[in-house]
Amino acid sequence: MDHVVLKKKLSTYLSEKGYLRNVSEEVLYEVIVAWENWTGSATEFYRSIGFTQKQMASLIGKAKKLKREGYYGEGDFKQVKVESLEANSASTADPCIGIEVTWHGGKVIRFAQVDLLVDFLKKAS
72-119 pLDDT per residue, tens: 765 555 565 655 545 444 455 555 577 888 877 777 888 887 788 888
Whether residue 30 contacts residue 6, with contact meaning beta carbons closer than 8 Å, is answered with: yes
64-75 pLDDT per residue, tens: 888 888 877 655
Give helix then strand counts, H and E, for the chain: 6, 2
The pLDDT of residue 89:
47
User: Alpha-carbon distance 65 to 60, whole Å?
Assistant: 9
14-37 pLDDT per residue, tens: 888 888 889 988 899 999 888 888
Polymer length of the chain: 125
User: Alpha-carbon distance 119 to 109, whole Å?
Assistant: 13
How many Cβ atoms are within 10 Å of 113's Cβ, its own excluded? 10
